[in-house]
A and B are shown apart, each in its own frame.
Chain A
């Protein structure tokens, strides 16, 4: 929907299309190895043929692979707290980061932010299942994901290196899910989106971690038996080692 809106906007205002963006990523592939502890990527870009002396606004949004989030709320039942209410938020990003060069509410009106999904306040599921009001569950889910470092927003993270050159550092924690990510760069003037560019990024496991994961998924029986053999072997070795000493 966001892309459609943009397309319509670009068609409707051909004069604005002369000012545009180029952008890229410091890495288009992140490989998870045994000592992986998250990483930073840099989204950078330049504004071509600036329409005026005044500096435009840049918003960077990085979205991870979509999944369904089950959000549960505890309630007290007979003295103990149990998960009683549940909703499923469909099509939520597994990772979400929004960066801007100044506070988002100053850059554009709430309607525009919501339309393009700019900022945590504009984050919406594609659909939801459950007999409850969306807002408290969505707010709670966003809050929890923020604490986990999976959702974030930083209103100063877009740095202008010159009048037209900019970059934003994007922190990816080790718990960020594997899969395809998209980094969107939005160029705005006077609260209007002028141009948008996107780049793709893949996070994947490699080496031993990859083989272990594939093994556990593809041959779970052999994987389980191997784990047991490893445990039995370690137990046996330790009893040998310590008997002699």
Chain B
């Protein structure tokens, strides 16, 4: 049965929608990321206009993050104060993102910009994660402990210090706000939750303990993607609620299955899987930018 999507103005088979949502949900449950960075390109590949794909993916990420965050909340693994501080920067970032999104859409360079941004971002993060997880795997095999990184003193020289008891930190609010802003903007322009950026940033820059990182990032991703959805709806009329509903139903089921599958794998293995996936997407997108396209022309309505 085909489902007509009223905003995208086209029909897609319901199994495709449920399957896409489910596959992305499974990965997000397995690897602890929202999966938006995979869902947006896949939706565009299905023929959904890129503006609708980006805007609608945000609400899918809201749902899967909500599901994950509640599980973390029960474990007491959310630093609400940190999440709130990052969200402040994030909301400002979302406004900047919606503005940038509209500018790019008008200039006709949106697709190229989105691909290029993904390549840089995913390539960098995937590479770093792969190196880190390979190192951890090797260390685990040789029986040694993971080498500790040296403290970065510059973070501690910034003003406006605050205590974050749940994370056991006493740091300036500037880095969390700045990270929140960058991720909020990214989230809106690319239709991603930003978990794959925010988790490494929280671990390596803010040095938040690993046990609260996941829950805290999920909590603030809920707010950021919710804000992105509302702003996309008001500014660009690009959110397709029908598409969102089908993706979300598939996604939340897939996510819970993914969490179960993930429980059987080790942390380093999961991180390496995620790193390979991220690098794979980056290479595919890079190829798309550099290779001579089959169709040089493109058409869009007014």
Contacts and interface: CB of A to CB of B under 8 A. Distances in A.
A228 B59 contact: yes
Interface string B83-103: 000000000000000000000
A99 to B, nearest CB: 23
Given A36-B4, A235-B67, A74 B298 contact: yes
Interface string B6-22: 11011100000000000
Interface in A63-107: 67-76, 79-83, 86, 88, 94
Contacts of A141: 297, 299
Contacts of A75: 296
A37 B290 contact: no
A212 B242 contact: yes
Interface residues of A, number: 61
Nearest to B239: A227
Nearest to B108: A83
Contacts, number: 188
B5 to A, nearest CB: 8
The 10 A-B pairs of least Cβ separation, nearest first, read A235-B66, A224-B233, A238-B252, A140-B297, A224-B230, A174-B11, A37-B2, A231-B63, A231-B62, A68-B302
Interface stretch (B137-145, B168-176, B182-190, B243-251): B243-251
B112 A37 contact: no
A199 interface: no
Contacts of A209: 4, 6, 242
Interface string A213-233: 100110011011111101110
Given A37-B2, A144-B298, A221-B234, A231 B244 contact: yes
Contacts of B69: 235
B271 interface: no
Interface in A131-152: 137, 140-141, 143-145
Contacts of B234: 220-221, 224
B292 interface: yes
A128 B6 CA distance: 30
Interface in A41-83: 67-76, 79-83
23 contacts: A37-B11, A67-B302, A69-B302, A70-B299, A74-B298, A81-B292, A83-B298, A174-B4, A174-B11, A177-B9, A178-B9, A212-B241, A216-B7, A216-B237, A216-B239, A223-B239, A226-B241, A227-B230, A228-B230, A230-B244, A234-B63, A237-B252, A239-B66
